[in-house]
Structure 1
């Protein structure tokens, strides 16, 4: 877990502008967000609160129907400049003064209800604004508009997405996702609660692209589909909306894509989590025009071709698998014959290649699911444990070595972290009770389509088993007392690692990291050595996943739920997590993994800027800054009650003396309800303030004690202590301490050696069975290699290796003598007649064969001798 350095800084606290941009201008007790989206009448329903969107150091915060736009670095520097000017006691002209731009603006939106989600596009040029039922797309301006002279509210160019589709009379919007393979990040996928997926390819030059989707799929129809030729489009506004089991079991809770840099089919797979606990996948889901990363098409082409080649002549493979492979081959063949169009990408990125969605075997894929959960825990008695709220998918890594095997040119991998990690996908599910289920997609998601209606092969296809996910670990992030019906936990991506994320509940933030076991599991899956099953079982049963709660709201603040966290990594801000409620922002600063940021000078300061002194040593754990309870600032409801009584039938009693009567009792009862509730809130807040004051005194004493201990240690090291002994110079004192440590180390080493010798002498235990077997094996090898002094049976000795070696040596010497004699006779004798002449090639071949046999026997004997020597030494 990253180390926490500090919590909400001063420039994000009251009464600075950094705090005010997160809170509404007027907050009343009946605000619809104070109870998780439930209004006065209680007709609202809980849902995700993703009200913070990020673009670099800029943040967009949804507050009611407004959007606040701010640059956090600008706000921080403005606060620092204000502190410097107030400390010097004189005013100086600065860009951060009140008559200049303040680095934040208010954006007016045309929405009719409270904004629940803000989703920014990959290229940061569009912002999707979601209410419970409507979707608006805003075109974002440049950052320079934040520092423009005009600081008043601004109105952006906004388009209504689906004016007749996403309306209040239709089903609510569960998720809006920017497709990772959209052209320049302009493709939006909306998923409604009634399980309808729509793909929108947006273009500001074509207003019709905001009116109708290019692809609409009703998942309830697709789940029962049998042929790709059927109509799976969404029903019109006049369709029957009566109750059906599908409408209850297929109520969408959330949907997600994996990252663009994932391997395999993951970038084009839409994962849908149903509220009742089912999980579905839609692969491949592509817009009409799509832009893949450089490694996607080659990796898919290699895997599909290898798969088809392996299945072609294997009779044991079922017909449905062969049909699926042929469908994938037809889909890839349609891509291979295309000539991609090269268009300009975002600034600083290479030109993008744009492909057209293949028409074969069909533009609508098969709905895969519901997935079976292997090794799933037993069903809980708590109903909220089975109600899913969010889904988060980490795609498989890209195998760059396998992809580039035999290739001369290397492809650039966009995501630097995508080449490391698991070769299988990870699917994380989150329930309303805060239960996190970590599942592995061992089978691997693949593209699937329904067969054609007139296809002959489809008649003989057997029913396939339902896809499955392996439940690896199950964790709880909430206590029993913190679970509520309005809770809707959400995932937030961590910018430093693809295997870590944050979970934001209604009242707390939890850090989760899968890094401790991901790389170990990948090694076990790749090596597959002896004991792999045992080690994998230890990984699954052990609590290897890092789970740490980093923030918890006070009990009196839980009526204002936290928004989904946003993580920022910037040299000026550091490694920052930002969340907010209607009470104000909450930020947590972690120790940045990139330590280069800490030593770089700030570029925004003038050349005469003097570097600040080193930060003091942190002697205590950081904690959230105390914020006064809202009860101290809320206005009393008693004046409003008195005003109502003056216009009611009891107005006469307010001017008369108090008399015992039913009317007086009614008035006193109403007043007591108001006063008792207000005094209870104020008393609770005052008690919390008192406890904080006592805790502050205790912490102050602890810090003083720790500082005193550190000071004594420094004085002892430097030799400046004021004891009775003579004060030595710093260098001499350090040298004496080093010499004392060396002497102590030598003494410990000597004692350890003595203990080892005593232990060796005192050990007199019997040999184990394995040691006896090893000694017997050494003796057998010795008898086979070295001749023993005892004479044995001549027949048995003839088969021993040492006897064979002696025979080979004798044979070698004899052959050498014979060859030498024949050579001498050949030199002295006259030339033989042509009838008895032996060709030189045959003589050379025979000699080479003999020498090869001799060398082989010699190597065998030498290897046996060396092995015996090693065994003897061991």
Structure 2
């Protein structure tokens, strides 16, 4: 987990431009009821349907934040430097900036670093989605989508600080209207040409693909591809009409209208492996998950490795099932469809299109027409090892989905190739896809896509393929782990948790709900699981089972909103990392910004490497900060809001009850009506003010308790200081504090010197005992001695010889055995000489003596050889 070092910095504090960037121009009353004063009362508070609130987008160090119908634009690095300059000017420590006669760029009559973007909208902004090349900004309300052309960053440093009105296009002015289903997700397609393809997903499960072009105004009016997922789920062939119904057409009731209510949708990263970059994952509110692959625009630009990787995978699959008779027929037909799709791509000649950012040219392909442009809807996925369904309804209502695609297998892609393919980011991590789901209760489910989602299409009209595909098993996801990101008392029906990506790793992310931000990291088990899957050996199943049961995913709460007001939820967090700003996440409520600043991840990596250098088994404890950081207390916004009572009186002066203000109070229906309306306003305001005052009182009490604890800690520290200085001893004569401290320092220095000398002495002795390391020649000589020892004496590890020459100790044993046999024969011959002579052949004694002398000489020679070898070996040992 990244170490939190501080919270919202001073340059985003109250009274700074950074603070005003996230709040309204004036505090409007937050009353829920106002009187119409025409004989009836109405409620202006609408129970808005819960949904995602992504009102912060970033472009480098620049941020775009939505406040109501207005968009604020600022450069955070510029705001920070301006605040530092202002503080230095106040303290008189400015170094050459802002001095008399030398105006600074941060003066009031110069650029302020922030602007306001005016956009004509009918409702408040709910989401801001910036394009991959940061030149478009998708502005989403509940039912409408607007595409703004972002201005250049130079406008932030211009002298003119008036509001800007960027060029804005309404996306689908006849499609995305208030009379149709609400919009839940707007995604920039990872494979769009120069990041100009937008995919919108409505609550009624309608997916539309928009290929935007500034040269073609009609590209903002009509999508190039429109798919109704409810129709596609019941489709039987690709020639059917799956386009969404036109606005104004009556649609009958269908059970799918309830079960296929979309909560969120997402793509995996552009650099993911396999079919992931063109797979749209859809999470339904009721808990089902679907996949749409391949979902492509008419013109798309793949990364350099995508098409070669898919081609290698498809060809390998065709070769594997070609001669295998056990492969199901549905798999064979699916492989043939993928091969036809890839053949269509191979027959194309891609066009080169220059990137607007000045990057290298990208190849643009046309969407293959075979087997069809509308893919098959895969799902709903079956969750294996999923926990039992909870009785709480909020545990089963999905709010967001986050998919991490599998890594690109570079080794398989480049197998047999002589020239390496230039890959910007080969990727690392897991070779499986990871699907993360969030529910309204804050429950996080982490699942693995073991089979991998591949491209699928519906069959031809009248084909018999459908019977093969229906018999196949439904797609499934393996539930790896389930975590809770909310605490007791934080769960309510309007909660809508959201995912936010992180910089440090694609396997770490943030979860933001109404009142908290939680950090989640999957890195503790991702790389371990990948190693087990790649090099699976004996005991791999046992180790994987232990890893799954260990629950190694890291979860840490990094921020909790102090206010209990559920009508001021946190916006989706945005992670930022810049040398000038540091590494932090930024979020905001409608009343103030929130920033959590982390320690730089580079420092953490260096420290981790340094700890590992001590010992392979060294397990370092996490560093604890000297001062535990905590957010600064923000008073409740109810204390700063304007009262609604003056506006009520102003309306009363222009209503038919204006005469009541000049007359005495009389009991009448009109007076009762006015009093009722005033009571509604005052009761709500007094309730909010009373709650805020109670919270302030509790904070004051908590401050007293913490102050007392701090005083106790200071008292302990003072006692330790007295022990060091000797003031705690009353029986000794008083002495100067400096003298006592110097005496202790000198004693400690002397002790340190003695220890240093002892360590140096031990080091010298150890150096003499160990000596220097052996050279290669000395090690070879020692090995030769061991071989000679084993050859002569037969001790140690013997080496089997492959030649015909016997070892000396073997020959010596044979000679001893031969000596014993000859001595037995000599004794037999001597016994025969003692007996009377027989008629046999007699051997002269001279011959027998000569033979015996010859044998004795041979034995003495062998004995001398063995003794000589033994003596030489003893000398070698002693040397």
Residue 524 of structure 1: aligned partner: 532
SS at match of 1:231: coil
Alpha-carbon shift at residue 321 of structure 1 (Å): 0.4
Find 1:575's aligned residue among 570, 583, 604: 583
Task: Determine if contact 1:375/1:470 at 8 Å carries over to the other structure.
Answer: yes
User: Mapping of 1:193-592 within 5 angstroms?
Assistant: 193-347=203-357, 349-415=359-425, 418=427, 420-455=428-463, 463-592=471-600
Q: CA separation in 2, counterparts of 1:141 and 1:484?
A: 40
* Shift in CA distance, 639/371, structure 1 to aligned 2, threshold 3 Å: same
* Shift in CA distance, 166/308, structure 1 to aligned 2, threshold 3 Å: same
Residue 74 of structure 1: aligned partner: 78
Residue 49 of structure 1: aligned partner: 53
* CA displacement 1:167-223 (0-9 Å, x = unmatched): 112211111000001111011111111111111111101111111111111111111
Task: Determine if contact 1:391/1:430 at 8 Å carries over to the other structure.
Answer: yes
SS at match of 1:305: helix
Alpha-carbon shift at residue 298 of structure 1 (Å): 1.3
Residue 633 of structure 1: aligned partner: 640
* CA displacement 1:685-714 (0-9 Å, x = unmatched): 334334434544555666677689889999
SS at match of 1:338: coil
Alpha-carbon shift at residue 440 of structure 1 (Å): 0.5
Q: CA separation in 1, counterparts of 2:670 and 2:753?
A: 89
Task: Determine if contact 1:261/1:414 at 8 Å carries over to the other structure.
Answer: no
Alpha-carbon shift at residue 656 of structure 1 (Å): 7.6
Alpha-carbon shift at residue 557 of structure 1 (Å): 3.6
Alpha-carbon shift at residue 595 of structure 1 (Å): 4.0
Alpha-carbon shift at residue 421 of structure 1 (Å): 1.1
Residue 849 of structure 1: aligned partner: none
SS at match of 2:689: helix
Alpha-carbon shift at residue 81 of structure 1 (Å): 1.0
User: Mapping of 1:658-669 within 5 angstroms?
Assistant: none
Residue 154 of structure 1: aligned partner: 164
The TM-score, its normalising length taken from structure 2, stands at 0.77
SS at match of 1:310: helix
Residue 737 of structure 1: aligned partner: 752
Alpha-carbon shift at residue 461 of structure 1 (Å): 5.4
Alpha-carbon shift at residue 318 of structure 1 (Å): 0.6
* CA displacement 1:230-274 (0-9 Å, x = unmatched): 221122124322321011111111100011111111011000001
* CA displacement 1:490-516 (0-9 Å, x = unmatched): 111112210111111111111111111
Q: CA separation in 2, counterparts of 1:552 and 1:745?
A: 54
* Shift in CA distance, 733/804, structure 1 to aligned 2, threshold 3 Å: closer
SS at match of 2:451: coil
* Shift in CA distance, 527/719, structure 1 to aligned 2, threshold 3 Å: farther
* Shift in CA distance, 593/705, structure 1 to aligned 2, threshold 3 Å: farther
SS at match of 1:376: coil
Residue 9 of structure 1: aligned partner: 9
Find 2:144's aligned residue among 120, 123, 134: 134
Q: CA separation in 2, counterparts of 1:649 and 1:480?
A: 50
Unmatched runs of 5 consecutive residues or more in structure 1: 599-616, 748-785, 788-800, 815-874
Q: CA separation in 1, counterparts of 2:605 and 2:803?
A: 74
* Shift in CA distance, 385/458, structure 1 to aligned 2, threshold 3 Å: closer
Alpha-carbon shift at residue 110 of structure 1 (Å): 1.8
Residue 191 of structure 1: aligned partner: 201
Q: CA separation in 1, counterparts of 2:382 and 2:652?
A: 62
Q: How many residue pairs get matched? A: 738
Is 1:64 aligned to 2:71, yes or no? no
SS at match of 2:242: coil
Q: CA separation in 2, counterparts of 1:202 and 1:664?
A: 59
Alpha-carbon shift at residue 657 of structure 1 (Å): 7.7
* Shift in CA distance, 714/143, structure 1 to aligned 2, threshold 3 Å: farther
SS at match of 2:494: coil
* Shift in CA distance, 13/323, structure 1 to aligned 2, threshold 3 Å: same
Residue 727 of structure 1: aligned partner: 742
Residue 105 of structure 1: aligned partner: 115
Task: Determine if contact 2:119/2:165 at 8 Å carries over to the other structure.
Answer: yes
SS at match of 1:18: helix
Alpha-carbon shift at residue 161 of structure 1 (Å): 0.9
Alpha-carbon shift at residue 556 of structure 1 (Å): 3.9
Find 2:44's aligned residue among 22, 28, 40: 40
Alpha-carbon shift at residue 357 of structure 1 (Å): 1.3
Q: Give the superposed CA RMSD.
A: 3.9
* Shift in CA distance, 160/738, structure 1 to aligned 2, threshold 3 Å: farther
Task: Determine if contact 2:12/2:18 at 8 Å carries over to the other structure.
Answer: yes
* Shift in CA distance, 657/223, structure 1 to aligned 2, threshold 3 Å: closer
Q: Which 10-residue stretch deviates more, 678-687 or 43-52?
A: 678-687
SS at match of 1:482: coil
* Shift in CA distance, 42/663, structure 1 to aligned 2, threshold 3 Å: closer
Alpha-carbon shift at residue 467 of structure 1 (Å): 0.2
SS at match of 1:370: coil
Alpha-carbon shift at residue 627 of structure 1 (Å): 1.7
Unmatched runs of 5 consecutive residues or more in structure 2: 34-41, 607-623, 728-735, 763-792, 812-879
* CA displacement 1:29-56 (0-9 Å, x = unmatched): 45899xxxx9935353111101111000
Task: Determine if contact 2:281/2:290 at 8 Å carries over to the other structure.
Answer: yes
Find 2:190's aligned residue among 172, 180, 185: 180
Residue 117 of structure 1: aligned partner: 127
Is 1:86 aligned to 2:90, yes or no? yes
* Shift in CA distance, 724/296, structure 1 to aligned 2, threshold 3 Å: same
Q: CA separation in 1, counterparts of 2:292 and 2:460?
A: 18
Alpha-carbon shift at residue 717 of structure 1 (Å): 11
Task: Determine if contact 2:518/2:559 at 8 Å carries over to the other structure.
Answer: yes
Residue 178 of structure 2: aligned partner: 168
* CA displacement 1:276-334 (0-9 Å, x = unmatched): 11100001111111111111111111111111100000000011101111111111122
Q: CA separation in 2, counterparts of 1:202 and 1:642?
A: 50
Q: CA separation in 2, counterparts of 1:380 and 1:637?
A: 43
Q: CA separation in 2, counterparts of 1:192 and 1:567?
A: 27
* Shift in CA distance, 711/326, structure 1 to aligned 2, threshold 3 Å: farther
SS at match of 2:83: helix
Residue 764 of structure 1: aligned partner: none
* CA displacement 1:580-600 (0-9 Å, x = unmatched): 1111111111111134999xx
Q: CA separation in 1, counterparts of 2:675 and 2:208?
A: 58
Alpha-carbon shift at residue 452 of structure 1 (Å): 1.3
SS at match of 1:501: strand
The TM-score, its normalising length taken from structure 1, stands at 0.77
